Chain A
Amino acid sequence: MKLEVSGVGKDYLIPVIDSVSFTADAGEFLCLLGPNGCGKTTLLRIIGGLEPATRGRVVLDGSPVAFDQRRDRKVGIVFQEDRLLPWLTLRDNVALVLTPFGRPAAERGTAALRYLKLVGLGGFEDYYPGRVSGGMRQRAAIARALAIEPDLLLMDEPFGALDAQNRRIMQTEVRRIWRQTGRTIVFVTHAIEEAVAIGTTLVMLTARPARVREAIRNDGRVERARLIDDLNTMIMEEVERQQGGGPLGG
């Protein structure tokens, strides 16, 4: 589903997001990049309807997204922490989010298993989250987000807590899952290499208060190493700006 973010801004005591606008077409894999603390997570939470925007609006497939209101569109979110319920098995965790759709328990269990297999957790469905690794828990969280067949999938630095090796593996996995399911994904990260490896569109945000600094189509026209270089330079400039500016910089 197509996502339109228009002039979204957010103030807490100080402006965190100035004005951000971008579009993600249906089936795109959009990566939101920016220095730590620039407001990426806040922006993602606004898009997901978890927080109200101070300015601007978010429209998903023609339907506006607002905080605390009945939404017609389905949004799945994968947070930095897996947020699985530790007292339910992986299968029950995934099946849980299917309860609002009113399907019988057996059907939910089968659907849950299907998505767990999709993310490579076949055979682990009866394990409790405490018994599997962090990477596997995040996979389960992804399976859970996919199970509702979301119109939009939001991911907030989901691999931040993983070691470098697992991170690489999960990046490939997410790309594969995206190709297989064709979902529209907005993926927040501060790791340039990660964004370039998996995103079709890269949106770089400025230091706080955030604006869009650059929006790049990652279609291979620019050589990858060069792209990573350019983006690294850009993000370091923004990091400096954020460190240097104001008492709350950095």
Chain B
Amino acid sequence: MSAPAGPSATWRDWTARLHLPTLAVAAAVVAGWWLLSLRYGAYVLPSPAAVARGVAEIVATGEIWRHTGASLARIAVGFGGAVVAAVLLGLLAFLSRLARGVVHDLLAVLNSTSVFVWIVISIIWFGLSNWAPIFTTFMITLPVVASTLVEGVAAVDRRLLEMGEVYRLSGRQKFTAIVVPSTLPYLVAGMKVGFGLALKVSVVAEIFGVTSGIGYVMNYSREILATQMVFVWALVMIGVMTLTDKLVFDAVSRRLMRWR
């Protein structure tokens, strides 16, 4: 974006950079929220002030780290496992045309299986333990990451591979110099979407049977009629998502895209 000359133009750039328009809308929303909360009462719609107090409370007691940490730990295992499995499937699809068809069909089936199916199955198989949300996260995230990656594998430019053939590059050299850089953007994109999904799914799965984590504490707050805490933890989730997007995925994407 080119910056036009002049002081008024700079002011416009700065308002955009600080997301001032969004903040203005957000302020309006909070104002509307406050008015509605007066109408509906603390059980249905807690006031913004109550939510803010709740946030301060969990930060002070350190609860925010405990439950966020527990959720993230489960997500790390489920999501991490899914990424590893997706890479293996991608490799398989690259090496064998036969495998590509099977992988494609497998992913189609997994993609159309709902979260609840996995939650129920995982509770039956793993009982009320940490493995239930981990397994659910794994099964929901895997098809998302794998589908994107397989698409990337199919999109590798055959002409570049042929060039590698002409110059007698070994299979390994062709893989590291051509296939990997070609598919990496797809993998990162898939991981970004997959992580968002993993966060949402894991939190839902935590409602059933675990004793820590964001989903658990949200559900517990609901049971003890502390609705403002439900909102508080929803905000925590949004915060985690935004932070990982900005600090992890966007940074990695930018680094990979240097050459564009």
CB within 8 Å of B: which residues of A? 48, 50, 71, 75-77, 79, 81, 83, 85-88, 96-97, 99-100, 128, 130, 144, 148
Contacts and interface: CB of A to CB of B under 8 A. Distances in A.
A48 B162 CA distance: 12
Interface string B155-173: 0000110110111111001
Nearest to A97: B167
Contacts of B259: 86-88, 128, 130
A100 B177 contact: no
Contacts, number: 46
A83 B167 contact: no
The 6 closest A-B pairs by CB, nearest first: A97-B167, A83-B163, A128-B259, A87-B181, A87-B259, A100-B168
Interface secondary structure of B, over-half rule: helix
Contacts of B177: 85, 88, 96
A224 B159 CA distance: 37
A131 to B, nearest CB: 8
Contacts of A77: 163, 166
B260 interface: yes
A81 B157 CA distance: 12
Interface residues of B, number: 17
B178 A50 contact: no
Given A85-B181, A144-B167, 5 more contacts: A76-B166, A83-B162, A96-B167, A97-B167, A130-B260
Nearest to B177: A96
A81 B159 contact: yes
16 contacts: A50-B162, A75-B166, A79-B159, A81-B159, A83-B159, A83-B163, A85-B177, A85-B178, A86-B259, A96-B167, A96-B177, A97-B167, A100-B169, A100-B170, A130-B259, A148-B167
